[in-house]
């Protein structure tokens, strides 16, 4: 990592979070380049982190780097990737690793836009808590990615949270349904708990604070204790107690089936959207 040069194409929210995590770790800011159309954004990043800015100069940013992080919106990824592909085809330097963080854009589309299946590409699926360095990211590498490049991609994405490699790209649709959309499931659950607590007579602020701290405490326990989620639940569910009354009510309403159905819907939509993005950009 200390010896790797990384170019970010797009200096928006995700690039900001990744770079913040990288420079707080062991990546020297002098190894990081950022290309973005907005000069002010780049100047602010240069002042805060010490990165090298490339205003509206994607080709300049990617010359002779080890990794290129495509950090633009999915809708413009095709245009940007084609531009990168042209530059790489005309350069005779080392072949860099391409890392896409764009939601729902398939590796074979990225390869196609690059001009052929010859480049090392890692497709990743971080989630929104990446903006707070608390992401859960799935990664998939194409056949051209070396072990060293895998380590580099993992180090970059670990700057914003935890990572998991996937054997098959299709598993990224499941990751999208799990961690990609997952924060919203928990927000929905917290929203419902907060509203129910108010109906039970608690003031709004108290309901909110106790809901959030309970969610945080439960996640922290599940992360730090060796027991499974099911085991932790059993341990806090005394026979004949209040928790058992609530869990029994959830199970009567078939909560597990509701969750499975919802995640299947998210997985199916992820496939549809990726198909659409690929078709819209030949
Ligand atoms: N935000 C999240 O929570 C999150 C989570 C998971 C994955 N992602 C993925 O991360 C990617 C980036 O998301 P983001 O939230 O960081 O978006 P963003 O804040 O909009 O950042 C994208 C940046 O790219 C710039 N840009 C536009 N055209 C460009 C070009 N041709 N060359 C170079 N830069 C260009 C944009 O400038 P303008 O604003 O002037 O267009 C903007 O500064 C997306 O593909 C998204 O799917 C995001």
What is the CA angle 157-159-162, rounded to 5? 65
Distances (CA, A) of 131 to 21, 257, 271: 10, 31, 25
* Mean pLDDT, residues 251-265 taken together: 97
The three-class DSSP label of residue 3 is: coil
What dihedral do alpha carbons 168, 171, 173, 179 form, nearest 10°?
A: -130
Domain locations in the chain as residue ranges:
6-172, 182-265
The predicted structure's pLDDT at residue 274: 92
Of 43-57, 88-102, 143-157, 176-190, the range with the lowest mean pLDDT is 88-102
The predicted structure's pLDDT at residue 206: 98
Does domain 182-265 fall under CATH 2.40.50.100? My reply is no
Ligand 1 center from residue 11 Cα (angstroms): 7
Ligand 1, atom 35: closest residue by C-alpha: 10
The predicted structure's pLDDT at residue 123: 97
Ligand 1 center from residue 144 Cα (angstroms): 26
Instruction: With residue 88 as reference, give the H or E element that holds it.
Output: helix 74-90
72 lines ligand 1 (CB under 6 A): yes
Average pLDDT of the chain, as a whole number: 95
Instruction: Give the pLDDT confidence of 212-250 residue by residue, as tens digits.
Output: 999 999 999 999 999 999 999 999 999 999 999 999 999
Give the contacts of 57 (CB within 8 A, at least 6 positions apart).
35
The predicted structure's pLDDT at residue 141: 98
Whether residue 14 contacts residue 75, with contact meaning beta carbons closer than 8 Å, is answered with no
The three-class DSSP label of residue 115 is: coil
The predicted structure's pLDDT at residue 2: 82
Q: What is the DSSP letter of 164?
A: E
**In Å, how far from its chain's centre is CA 278?**
20
Structural fold of domain 6-172: Rossmann fold (3.40.50)
pTM: 0.94
Mutation pick for ligand 1 pocket among 11, 13, 131 (CB with most ligand atoms within 8 Å): 13
Instruction: With residue 58 as reference, give the H or E element that holds it.
Output: helix 58-62
Instruction: Give the pLDDT confidence of 29-81 residue by residue, as tens digits.
Output: 999 999 999 999 999 999 999 999 999 999 999 999 999 999 999 999 999 99
């Amino acid at each position: 990592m200390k010896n790797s040069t990384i170019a970010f194409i797009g200096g928006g929210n995700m690039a900001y979070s990744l770079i913040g995590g990288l420079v707080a770790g062991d990546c020297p800011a002098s190894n990081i380049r950022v290309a973005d159309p907005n000069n002010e954004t780049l100047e602010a990043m240069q002042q805060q982190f010490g990165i090298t800015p490339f205003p509206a100069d994607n080709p300049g940013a990617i010359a002779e780097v080890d990794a290129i992080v495509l950090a633009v919106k999915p809708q413009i990824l095709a245009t940007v990737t084609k531009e990168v592909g042209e530059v790489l085809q005309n350069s005779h330097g080392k072949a860099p690793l391409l890392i896409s963080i764009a939601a729902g854009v398939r590796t074979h589309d990225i390869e196609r836009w690059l001009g052929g299946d010859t480049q090392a590409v890692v497709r990743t699926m971080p989630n929104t808590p990446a903006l707070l360095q608390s992401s859960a990211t799935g990664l998939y590498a194409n056949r051209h990615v070396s072990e060293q490049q895998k380590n580099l991609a993992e180090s970059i994405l670990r700057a914003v949270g935890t990572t998991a490699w996937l054997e098959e790209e299709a598993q990224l649709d499941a990751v999208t349904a799990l961690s990609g959309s997952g924060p919203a499931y928990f927000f929905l659950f917290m929203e419902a708990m907060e509203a129910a607590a108010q109906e039970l007579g608690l003031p709004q602020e108290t309901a909110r604070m106790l809901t959030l701290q309970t969610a945080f405490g439960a996640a922290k326990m599940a992360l730090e204790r060796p027991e499974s989620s099911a085991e932790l639940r059993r341990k806090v569910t005394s026979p004949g107690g209040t928790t058992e009354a609530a869990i029994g009510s959830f199970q009567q309403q078939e909560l597990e089936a509701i969750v499975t159905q919802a995640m299947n819907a998210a997985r199916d939509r992820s496939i549809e959207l990726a198909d659409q993005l690929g078709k819209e950009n030949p």
